[in-house]
Structure 1
Amino acid sequence: MKLSKLYSNQPTLFFPIEFKDGLNVVLGQIKHPENYKKDTHNLGKTTLAKLLDFMFLAQRHPKQFLFKKFDIFKSFTFFLEIELDDGQFLTIKRSVENNTKISFKLHKERLQDFSDLVDEQWNHNKVTFEQAKNLLDSWLNFDVLKKWNYRQVLGYLIRTQDDFNNVFKLQKHQGKDLHWKPYMADLLGFKGELATANYEKQSEISKLEDEIKPHAKNYQNLNEELSSIDGKILIRNNELKNLENFIDEFNFDPLDQEKIEELVDTLDVNIAQLNMVEYTIKNNISRIEDSLNIDEIQFDTSKVKKLFTEASILFPEQITKDFEQLITFNKMITEERKSYLNEELNSLKIELEEAQNELTTLNQERSKQISFLGETEVVQKFKQSNNQLAQIKGDIEFLNKQKEVIDKVLLLEKQKRELQKSLDIIQNDMQINVQQVNEDTASTFSKIRIYFNEIINEILDKEGSITVYLNNEGNFEFDASYRDKKGIDTSEGDGHSYRQLLCFAFDLAVARAYIDKNYPKFLYIDGVFDNLDIRKKRNTLNILRKYTELGIQIIITTIESEVSELSSKDKPVFSSDEIILVLHDDGQAGRLFKIPIW
Structure 2
Amino acid sequence: MKLSALYANKADIFPPIKFHEGFNVVFARVKNPKIKEKDSHNLGKTFLITVIDFCLLAEADKHHPFKIHSEVFKDFVFYLEIKTHSGHYVTVRRLVEGRNPVSIHVSHSPNTDLTRLFEPSWTYADLPLTKAIKQLNDLLDLSAIAPYNYRKGLGYILRRQTDYDELFRISKFSRSADKDWKPFLAQIIGFNHAIIDRKYELDETVDKLKLRQQTIEEEAGSTSEEYDEVKGLLEIRSSTLEGLRTELDQFSFRGVEAVINEDLVSNIESNIANLNRRRYTIDYELTEIAKSLETGFEFDLNRVQQVFAEAQLELPQALVHSYKEVIELNRRMSDGRKERLHKLRDKLERERAEIENLITDLDSERTAALAILEEKQTLEKYRKIQRRFSQQEAQVIVLQQRLADLDRAANIQKDIDTQRQKVNDAIQEIRESVRHDNSTYTAIRTTFSRCVERVLNVQALLSVSVNQEGNLDFNVRTLDPEMSGRETSEGAGASYKKILCACFDIAVVGVYASKPFYHFLYHDGIFEGLDNRKKVNLLNLIRDITINQKIQYILTVIDSDLPRDERDMKLLFTQEEIVRELHDEGDSGRLFKMPPF
Flag whether TM exceeds 0.5 (same fold): yes
Kindly state the Cα deviation for residue 160 of structure 1 after the two structures are TM-superposed. Answer: 0.9
- Map of 1:139 onto structure 2: 139
Q: 2:507 aligns with which of 487, 490, 509?
A: 509
- Map of 1:398 onto structure 2: 398
Choose 523-532 or 388-397, whichever is displaced more: 388-397
- Map of 1:531 onto structure 2: 529
Q: 1:541 aligns with which of 539, 542, 552?
A: 539
Contact 1:18–1:111 (8 Å) recurs in 2: no
Q: 2:582 aligned with 1:583, yes or no? A: yes
Change (3 A) 1:591 1:568: farther
Instruction: Provide the aligned length of Structure 1 versus Structure 2.
Output: 480
- Map of 2:225 onto structure 1: 221
Distance in structure 2 (CA, Å) of the matches to 1:5 and 1:94? 14
- Map of 1:596 onto structure 2: 595
Distance in structure 1 (CA, Å) of the matches to 2:34 and 2:14? 26
Change (3 A) 1:5 1:390: closer
Distance in structure 2 (CA, Å) of the matches to 1:155 and 1:530? 19
Secondary structure of residue in 2 paired with 1:583: strand
User: What amino acid is aligned across from residue 429 of structure 1 in structure 2?
Assistant: E
Which has more radius of gyration?
2
Kindly state the Cα deviation for residue 569 of structure 1 after the two structures are TM-superposed. Answer: 10
Give the alignment of 1:154-303 within 5 angstroms: 154-173=154-173, 174-213=175-214, 215=217, 218-219=222-223, 221-247=225-251, 250=252, 252=254
% identity of equivalent residues: 30
Distance in structure 2 (CA, Å) of the matches to 1:43 and 1:402? 69
Distance in structure 2 (CA, Å) of the matches to 1:371 and 1:547? 114
For residues 489-533 of structure 1, the C-alpha deviation after alignment (integer angstroms, 9 at most, x for no partner) is 333333322211111111110011111211111110111211222
User: What amino acid is aligned across from residue 157 of structure 1 in structure 2?
Assistant: I
- Map of 2:287 onto structure 1: none
Contact 2:102–2:127 (8 Å) recurs in 1: yes
Kindly state the Cα deviation for residue 165 of structure 1 after the two structures are TM-superposed. Answer: 1.1
- Root-mean-square deviation (CA, aligned residues, Å) is 2.7
Distance in structure 2 (CA, Å) of the matches to 1:38 and 1:484? 39
Change (3 A) 1:564 1:111: farther
Distance in structure 2 (CA, Å) of the matches to 1:388 and 1:10? 87
User: What amino acid is aligned across from residue 446 of structure 2 in structure 1?
Assistant: I
Distance in structure 2 (CA, Å) of the matches to 1:9 and 1:147? 34
Contact 2:562–2:570 (8 Å) recurs in 1: no
Kindly state the Cα deviation for residue 483 of structure 1 after the two structures are TM-superposed. Answer: 2.0
Contact 2:227–2:403 (8 Å) recurs in 1: no
Distance in structure 2 (CA, Å) of the matches to 1:412 and 1:467? 38
Distance in structure 1 (CA, Å) of the matches to 2:248 and 2:178? 63
Q: 1:489 aligns with which of 477, 480, 487?
A: 487
Kindly state the Cα deviation for residue 388 of structure 1 after the two structures are TM-superposed. Answer: 4.3
- Map of 1:316 onto structure 2: none
Change (3 A) 1:61 1:483: farther
Contact 1:481–1:502 (8 Å) recurs in 2: no
Kindly state the Cα deviation for residue 155 of structure 1 after the two structures are TM-superposed. Answer: 2.2
- Map of 2:420 onto structure 1: 420
User: What amino acid is aligned across from residue 430 of structure 2 in structure 1?
Assistant: M
User: What amino acid is aligned across from residue 84 of structure 1 in structure 2?
Assistant: T
What is the TM-score normalised by the length of structure 1? 0.75
Kindly state the Cα deviation for residue 41 of structure 1 after the two structures are TM-superposed. Answer: 5.3
User: What amino acid is aligned across from residue 56 of structure 1 in structure 2?
Assistant: L
Contact 1:463–1:484 (8 Å) recurs in 2: yes
- Map of 1:128 onto structure 2: 128
Change (3 A) 1:381 1:133: closer
Contact 2:40–2:47 (8 Å) recurs in 1: no
Unmatched segments (≥5 aa) in structure 1: 257-369
- Map of 2:551 onto structure 1: 552
Choose 456-465 or 476-485, whichever is displaced more: 476-485
Contact 1:373–1:379 (8 Å) recurs in 2: no
Distance in structure 2 (CA, Å) of the matches to 1:109 and 1:387? 91
Contact 1:137–1:149 (8 Å) recurs in 2: yes
- Map of 1:479 onto structure 2: 475
Change (3 A) 1:379 1:563: closer
Kindly state the Cα deviation for residue 379 of structure 1 after the two structures are TM-superposed. Answer: 5.8
Secondary structure of residue in 1 paired with 2:500: helix
Kindly state the Cα deviation for residue 371 of structure 1 after the two structures are TM-superposed. Answer: 10
Change (3 A) 1:566 1:44: farther
What is the TM-score normalised by the length of structure 2? 0.75
Change (3 A) 1:385 1:237: closer
Change (3 A) 1:2 1:381: closer
User: What amino acid is aligned across from residue 472 of structure 2 in structure 1?
Assistant: F
Change (3 A) 1:588 1:390: same
User: What amino acid is aligned across from residue 156 of structure 1 in structure 2?
Assistant: Y
Distance in structure 1 (CA, Å) of the matches to 2:383 and 2:5? 97
Secondary structure of residue in 2 paired with 1:493: helix
Contact 1:243–1:389 (8 Å) recurs in 2: no
Give the alignment of 1:323-338 within 5 angstroms: none
Distance in structure 2 (CA, Å) of the matches to 1:522 and 1:47? 18
Contact 2:231–2:403 (8 Å) recurs in 1: no
For residues 237-287 of structure 1, the C-alpha deviation after alignment (integer angstroms, 9 at most, x for no partner) is 53254235324xx3637958xxxxxxxxxxxxxxxxxxxxxxxxxxxxxxx
Distance in structure 2 (CA, Å) of the matches to 1:372 and 1:567? 125
User: What amino acid is aligned across from residue 208 of structure 2 in structure 1?
Assistant: K
Kindly state the Cα deviation for residue 42 of structure 1 after the two structures are TM-superposed. Answer: 2.1
- Map of 2:31 onto structure 1: 31
Kindly state the Cα deviation for residue 163 of structure 1 after the two structures are TM-superposed. Answer: 1.2
Distance in structure 1 (CA, Å) of the matches to 2:410 and 2:395? 22
Kindly state the Cα deviation for residue 34 of structure 1 after the two structures are TM-superposed. Answer: 5.3
User: What amino acid is aligned across from residue 510 of structure 2 in structure 1?
Assistant: R
Kindly state the Cα deviation for residue 168 of structure 1 after the two structures are TM-superposed. Answer: 1.2
Kindly state the Cα deviation for residue 414 of structure 1 after the two structures are TM-superposed. Answer: 2.5
Contact 1:464–1:481 (8 Å) recurs in 2: yes
